[in-house]
Amino acid sequence: MQINKESLKKEVVYKTSRSGGKGGQNVNKVSSKVELLFSVNDSLLFDEEEKQLLNKKLQARFNKDGLIQVICDEERSQYLNKEKALDRLINLLVNALKKPKVRKPTKVSKASKAARLEQKRFNSIKKEGRKGVSDF
């Protein structure tokens, strides 16, 4: 599934705050930490089936208001943190919308079955030889 970054940008809300970490004196002045909020239920990008799937798979990522929250404060630049947060959101959504491959049950081959039985027979003979002979 491909999600358009530009259309997703229109549906997200950013909150910024001052971030700890590297940046020197800049840390105390610039709001570089970015908190991205996205509402799956209000989104126009997904149909009802996809929304239900996203709500089910990303349940642990929702905050108390029912929004997906992605926080990024790795970079010194607010712009770069916004881009990283948006990329993380896209990655989350794409992975949640992937449908796993259906497992096709396979049969055990005759050769592997014969090899297993032969190994069992060999182990049985080996253990039989370990038994002590008693004179009762």
Please give the model's pTM, rounded to 2 decimal places. 0.68
- The better pLDDT of the pair 133, 102 is held by 102
Confidence category of residue 111, pLDDT binned at 50, 70, 90: very high
Kindly write down the DSSP assignment for every residue of 72-128, as one continuous string.
E--SS-HHHHHHHHHHHHHHHHHHHHPPPPPPPP-PPPHHHHHHHHHHHHHHHHHHH
More confident residue, 22 or 53: 53
Q: Is the pLDDT of residue 17 over 80?
A: yes
Tens-digit pLDDT profile for residues 60-81: 888 888 889 999 988 888 899 9
pLDDT category, 119, cuts 50, 70, 90?
A: very high
Answer yes or no: are the C-beta atoms of 78 and 32 closer than 8 Å.
yes
Q: Does pLDDT of 103 surpass 80?
A: yes
Domains, in order of start, for the chain: 5-97 (3.30.160.20)
